[in-house]
Amino acid sequence: MSAYLDKAQSHANTDAKARRKLLDQRRMEYRRAIESYAEQRQLQQQLADYPELVAANYLATQALPRRSAQPAR
């Protein structure tokens, strides 16, 4: 009977570990999303301080001729 209880307990421990791991993964994903959002906001604020650079960068990217990708020979 104790062997049966040991297997049941080890199975419960495995399930608990799997749930904990899944929760940790979700928590880290959420944390990374928050950090990414904060970095984007900070970058937007820094760019807002220099609107002429944003406009110049936009114009520079629009002025470049677009080439079609050609395979190397």
Residue 49 lies in a domain: yes
pLDDT tens digit sequence for 36-64:
999 999 988 887 877 777 777 777 777 66
Structure tokens at 8: 């049941």
Which residue do the tokens 């301080």 mark?
49
Residue 60 lies in a domain: no
Structure tokens at 58: 């936009």
Per the structure, how many domains does the chain have?
1
What Å distances lie between residue 22 and 4, 13, 16, 18, 27, CA to CA?
A: 27, 14, 10, 6, 9
Residue 62 lies in a domain: no
| pLDDT, average across residues 11-31 | 92
Range(s) of the domain holding residue 32: 2-55
Residue 29 lies in a domain: yes
User: Quick one: CA dihedral 57, 63, 68, 72, positive or negative?
Assistant: negative
Residue 34 lies in a domain: yes
Give pTM, 2 decimals.
Answer: 0.50
Residue 34 burial (CB < 10 Å; 0-12/13-18/19+)?
exposed
